[in-house]
């Protein structure tokens, strides 16, 4: 049977640069499948339907929850965000590694039901970088930015439930760290049970 793919989950403070890291990671590792989330938030300038998100209404979102079509979901700064289930399950079953870029509540939900998920949290070297980036992006009002920073403050105490942390100073270093995590996870002994069994058989054949 084909080995299932790895489920990599990247979260981080708003403005920590996780979106950029994931985008660059995908462009360098195009065998990894990126899950496109559904959201009820407004489309930002430059964003595209089906590329950045599926933009749906609150009713549509709640229908998806009721039908069990969400792998996970969370409410974040007054909007719903969720991962459509069918894409993720299919890709993992087919042996592809899948990456989700989601906030912390959703990531911890996934970890509770799927312990093999690999949780990675992105932080900046200094908190001031978050404020600078969020204002510099110019896509949100000062009030929304304040709410996002407040949310980050609440998230700090839950970082300990993650498996890895990336301190995002230089983009290229951060992308390499994500690649290193993926590579190391693939080298775990549990992924080599078939090879180990085969070697055992071969060794027994040699000594007998």
Identity of the residue, 20 or 105, whose beta carbon is nearer to ligand 5GP in the bound complex: 105
Neighbours of 59 (CB within 10 A): 9
Distance in Å, CB of 106 to ligand 5GP, minimum:
2
Q: Which tokens sit at 50?
A: 């089906």
Identity of the residue, 122 or 181, whose beta carbon is nearer to ligand 5GP in the bound complex: 122
Neighbours of 1 (CB within 10 A): 5
Which residues of the chain form contacts with ligand 5GP (CB under 6 A)?
Answer: 14, 37, 41, 72-74, 76, 81-83, 101-103, 105-106
Identity of the residue, 20 or 29, whose beta carbon is nearer to ligand 5GP in the bound complex: 20
Identity of the residue, 83 or 177, whose beta carbon is nearer to ligand 5GP in the bound complex: 83
> Residue 26 — φ and ψ, nearest 5°?
-65, -40
Identity of the residue, 101 or 129, whose beta carbon is nearer to ligand 5GP in the bound complex: 101
**Which residues neighbour 5 within 8 Å (Cβ) at sequence distance 6 or greater?**
33, 91, 92, 94, 95, 96, 97, 98
Distance in Å, CB of 6 to ligand 5GP, minimum:
18
Distance in Å, CB of 107 to ligand 5GP, minimum:
7
Distance in Å, CB of 137 to ligand 5GP, minimum:
9
C-alpha span between 204 and 208 (Å, rounded): 6
Q: In this structure, is the dihedral angle defined by the CA atoms of residues 79, 85, 86 and 92, taken in order, positive or negative?
A: positive
**Which residues neighbour 177 within 8 Å (Cβ) at sequence distance 6 or greater?**
166
> In which residue are the tokens 């985008």 written?
23
């Amino acid at each position: 049977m084909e080995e299932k793919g790895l489920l990599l989950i990247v979260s981080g403070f708003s403005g920590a640069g996780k979106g950029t890291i994931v985008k660059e990671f995908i462009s360098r590792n195009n065998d990894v499948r990126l899950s496109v989330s559904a959201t009820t938030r407004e489309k930002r300038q430059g964003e595209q339907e089906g590329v950045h998100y599926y933009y749906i209404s609150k009713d549509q979102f709640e229908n998806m929850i009721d039908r069990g079509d969400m792998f996970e979901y969370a409410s974040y700064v007054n909007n719903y965000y969720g991962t459509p289930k069918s894409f993720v399950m299919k890709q993992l079953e087919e042996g592809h590694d899948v990456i989700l870029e989601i906030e912390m509540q959703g990531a911890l939900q996934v970890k509770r039901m799927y312990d093999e998920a690999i949780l990675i949290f992105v932080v900046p070297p200094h908190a001031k970088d978050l404020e600078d980036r969020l204002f510099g992006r110019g896509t949100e009002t000062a009030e929304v930015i304040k709410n996002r920073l407040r949310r980050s403050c609440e998230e700090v105490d839950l970082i300990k439930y993650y498996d890895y942390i990336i301190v995002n100073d230089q983009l290229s270093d951060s992308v390499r760290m994500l690649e290193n995590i993926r590579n190391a996870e693939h080298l775990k002994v549990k992924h080599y049970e078939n090879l180990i069994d085969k070697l055992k058989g071969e060794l027994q054949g040699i000594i007998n």
